């Protein structure tokens, strides 16, 4: 893995936003269709802000061919809950993008698993089928959990996993409580519906973003691995032919060969 290393989070976010914007422009120009896989969490917030600024410079772009699939959604949670991934995405990206460019209709062009579904198996099947109806994901944006999770594929997830109900790891519940639920773990759902590692690996291209010292240990683990392992689900990306790793100095740190 040979990441691009940036001095700051903002430099990383701005650079990745330009690459994503170029990919969107290119796909819409060449085939008027682009399937974008999106992530939530704190890391992509800067990317979405810089992307919106770039979309503002091109109000002429016809975005009706842009389709977005999010990696995951908590379960159980109603889409209208303030900290559902539906609400997060609407707040930080889909709503502002529709304001900037009305050819993007969030309701029709975005897909996030339904955290209030009465039938999990049916919802997971529906989600996988919806992705395949659009061909495949052209570009998947990923963050990475401190335990190596991608989406909500926690340690123990291998490359055969598909969209399914997953149990959140205790560290994930604590971290998400601290970040989004005012530290109250009781408010954090214990499960989520997540694209599987296998689903993610079918993306044509993957951009993984990592920022901050909390990601240093898991990135160092990846640097030392030759073989993918379910213990660090992000390690399956090491086999993908078109992954780009974008990290900041804080996350990459000074590599210390383990004695
Ligand atoms: C959450 C999300 C992941 C995200 C990860 C890291 O669990 N389900 O998609 O990559 O946490 O989040 P952050 O970017 O806030 O560190």
pTM: 0.96
Higher pLDDT, 182 or 144: 144
Nearest CA to ligand 1 atom 6: 145
pLDDT digits 0-9 by tens, 126-170? 999 999 999 999 999 999 999 999 999 999 999 999 999 999 999
d(CA 70, CA 152): 11
> Given pLDDT bands bounded at 50, 70 and 90, which one contains residue 259?
low
Name the residue of 77, 144, 169, 246 to mutate for ligand 1: max ligand atoms within 8 A of Cβ: 144
**Is residue 54 in contact with ligand 1, taking CB distance under 6 Å?**
no
- Give the single-character DSSP code of 87: H
Q: Judge if the beta carbon of residue 101 lies within 6 A of ligand 1.
A: no
C-alpha span between 154 and 147 (Å, rounded): 7
- At 180 the pLDDT is 84
Instruction: Give the other-Cβ count within 10 Å of 231's Cβ.
Output: 14
Residue 194: pLDDT band (50, 70, 90) is very high
Please give the average per-residue pLDDT across 233-250, as a whole number: 97
How far apart are the C-alpha atoms of 198 and 153, rounded to whole Å? 10
8 Å CB contact between 233 and 157: yes
Q: Is 72 a known active-site residue?
A: yes
Q: What is the dihedral of CA 171, 86, 162, 192, to 10 degrees?
A: 40
Taken as a whole, the chain contains a residue count of 259
pLDDT digits (tens, 9 = 90+) for 100-114: 999 999 999 999 999
For residues 149 and 169, the answer to whether their CB atoms sit within 8 Å is: yes
Name the nearest CA neighbour of 205 among 155, 142, 152.
142
pLDDT > 90 in the chain, percent: 95
Tell me if residue 186 is catalytic. Answer: no
Question: Both tokens of residue 235?
Answer: 């390690």
3-class state of residue 34 by DSSP: strand
Q: How far is the CA of 102 from the centre of ligand 1 (A)?
A: 29
């Amino acid at each position: 893995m040979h990441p691009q290393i940036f001095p700051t989070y903002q430099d990383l976010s701005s650079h990745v936003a330009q690459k994503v914007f170029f990919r969107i422009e290119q796909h819409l120009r060449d085939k008027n269709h682009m399937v974008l896989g999106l992530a939530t969490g704190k890391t992509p917030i800067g990317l979405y802000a810089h992307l919106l600024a770039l979309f503002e410079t091109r109000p002429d772009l016809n975005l009706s061919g842009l389709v977005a699939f999010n990696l995951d959604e908590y379960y159980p949670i109603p889409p209208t809950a303030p900290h559902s991934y539906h609400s997060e995405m609407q707040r930080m990206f889909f709503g502002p993008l529709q304001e900037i460019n009305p050819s993007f209709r969030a309701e029709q062009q975005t897909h996030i698993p339904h955290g209030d579904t009465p039938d999990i198996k049916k919802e997971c099947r529906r989600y996988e089928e919806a992705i395949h109806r659009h061909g495949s994901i052209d570009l998947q944006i990923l963050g990475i959990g401190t335990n190596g999770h991608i989406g909500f594929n926690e340690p123990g997830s291998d490359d055969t996993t598909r969209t399914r109900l997953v149990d959140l790891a205790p560290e994930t519940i604590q971290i998400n409580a601290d970040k989004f639920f005012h530290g109250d773990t009781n408010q954090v759902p214990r499960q989520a519906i997540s694209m599987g590692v296998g689903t993610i690996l079918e993306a044509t291209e993957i951009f993984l973003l990592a920022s901050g010292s909390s990601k240093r240990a898991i990135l160092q683990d990846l640097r030392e691995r030759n073989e993918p392992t379910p213990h660090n689900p992000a390690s399956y990306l090491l086999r993908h032919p078109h992954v780009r790793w974008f990290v900041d100095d804080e996350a990459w740190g000074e590599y210390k060969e383990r004695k």
